[in-house]
Amino acid sequence: MSWQQYVDYLLGTKCVTKAAILGLSNGQVWATTPGFAVSAIEVGVLRNAYQNPEDLYSNGLIVAGMHFVFLRRSGESALYGRKGANSGGVCICKTLTALIVGYYENGIQPGSCNAVVEKLGDYLREQHY
């Protein structure tokens, strides 16, 4: 399966509006939804947030140029952000070699997006990615 097929899978669930899979070490784009450009600099900040998320509580997350309020980190693999009360959010899942970013718009349940992004992350970790 190509990396783009994983992004297409996330979109096909209707729980994710936009998605990207990026190299964890260098921020290289492996696959993405057209127009959803997560920069290497943003990937670096996200990667560092897994070690020390404290800055995110005061500064928030920036993903694909969009600012999100940082909600929390779950274990060693997931970060969550929200644009506003009725504006969508983001789930970022870390695997051994990649970051999976799932963005959802208003009207999609955050938990639904989180579940499909994290499930893909679990699968990729099992496959040693």
Q: How many domains does the chain have?
A: 1
pLDDT value at residue 85: 74
37-56 tens-digit pLDDT: 999 999 999 998 888 888 89
CA–CA gap between residue 30 and residue 99 (Å, rounded)? 10
DSSP letter for 18, please: E
Q: Which domain covers residue 77, as residue numbers?
A: 3-126
Please give the model's pTM, rounded to 2 decimal places. 0.94
The two tokens of residue 85 are 């009360």
CATH code, domain with 14: 3.30.450.30
Rg for the chain, CA atoms, rounded? 13
**Which residues of the chain are under the pLDDT cut of 50?**
none
